[in-house]
A = this chain, B = another copy of it.
Amino acid sequence: VSNAAESKQIGVGLIGHGTVGRGVVALLHEHADQYARHLGRSLQIARVLVRDPAKHREDSLLAPELFTDDSAAFFATEGIGVVVEVAGGRDPVGAYVREALTRGCPVVTANKSLLAAEGEALFALARARETCIGFEASCAGGIPVVNAIQFALKSSRIAGLYGILNGTCNYILTGMTQRGETYGDCLAQAQNAGFAEADPTLDVSGRDAAEKLAILATLAFGVRVDVNTVACEGIDNLALDDIRFGAELGYDVKLVAVAERLKPSEGAPGDNLALSVRPCFVSKHDPLANVHGSFNALMVDGGPVGPTMYIGHGAGQMPTAGAVVSDLLNVVAGWYGDAYRRFAAWPDQMADAAPAPAEEVRSRFYLRIAARDVPSVFARISGVLGEAGISLGALRQHEVAEGRFVPVVIVTHEAREGDLHRALAKITALDETEGTPVCIRIMDSVED
Contact = CB atoms under 8 A, between A and B. Distances in A.
Interface of A: 27, 31, 34-35, 38, 106, 119-121, 123-124, 126-127, 130-133, 136, 142-144, 147-148, 150-157, 162, 217-219, 221-226, 229, 231, 239, 241-242, 245-246, 248-249, 251, 253-254, 256, 258, 260, 262, 266-269, 271-276, 278-283, 285-292, 297, 299, 301-302, 304-313, 316, 318-319, 321-326, 328-331, 334-335, 339-341, 343-358, 360-362, 366, 368, 394, 396, 398, 407, 409, 411, 416, 438, 440-447
Given A256-B443, A339-B340, A142 B308 contact: yes
B142 A38 contact: no
A388 to B, nearest CB: 15
Contacts of A127: 341, 344, 346
Nearest to A223: B353
B445 A286 contact: yes
Q: From A153, A162, A222, A409, name the one whose CB has the most chain B CB atoms within 10 angstroms.
A: A222
A136 to B, nearest CB: 7
Nearest to A279: B440
B150 A144 contact: no
Contacts of A287: 287, 290-291, 297, 311, 445-446
Given A144-B153, A260-B361, A221 B353 contact: yes
Contacts of A352: 223-224, 226
A136 B251 CA distance: 35
A274 B360 contact: yes
B346 A124 contact: yes
Nearest to A121: B348
A290 to B, nearest CB: 5
A443 B289 CA distance: 10
A226 B353 contact: yes
Contacts of A334: 334, 339-340, 343
B262 A356 contact: yes
Nearest to A217: B353
21 contacts: A123-B347, A142-B306, A150-B344, A155-B325, A156-B322, A218-B345, A221-B353, A223-B353, A226-B352, A274-B360, A280-B442, A281-B440, A282-B445, A287-B291, A288-B446, A290-B290, A304-B322, A306-B316, A307-B312, A335-B339, A339-B340
A330 to B, nearest CB: 6
Contacts of A340: 106, 132, 330-331, 334-335, 339
Given A222-B350, A249-B409, A279-B440, A319 B306 contact: yes
A18 to B, nearest CB: 17
A74 to B, nearest CB: 24
Nearest to A448: B285
Contact of A361 (B153, B262, B355, B360): B262
A291 B279 CA distance: 23
Contacts of A311: 287, 308-311
Contacts of A312: 306-309
Contacts of A335: 339-340
B346 A34 contact: no
A308 B310 contact: yes
Given A127-B341, A305-B319, A409-B245, A155 B27 contact: yes
A110 to B, nearest CB: 13
A274 B443 CA distance: 14
B366 A275 contact: no
A309 B274 contact: no
Nearest to A307: B446
A394 B246 CA distance: 11
Contact of A268 (B249, B309, B360, B438): B360
A253 B289 contact: no
Nearest to A337: B339
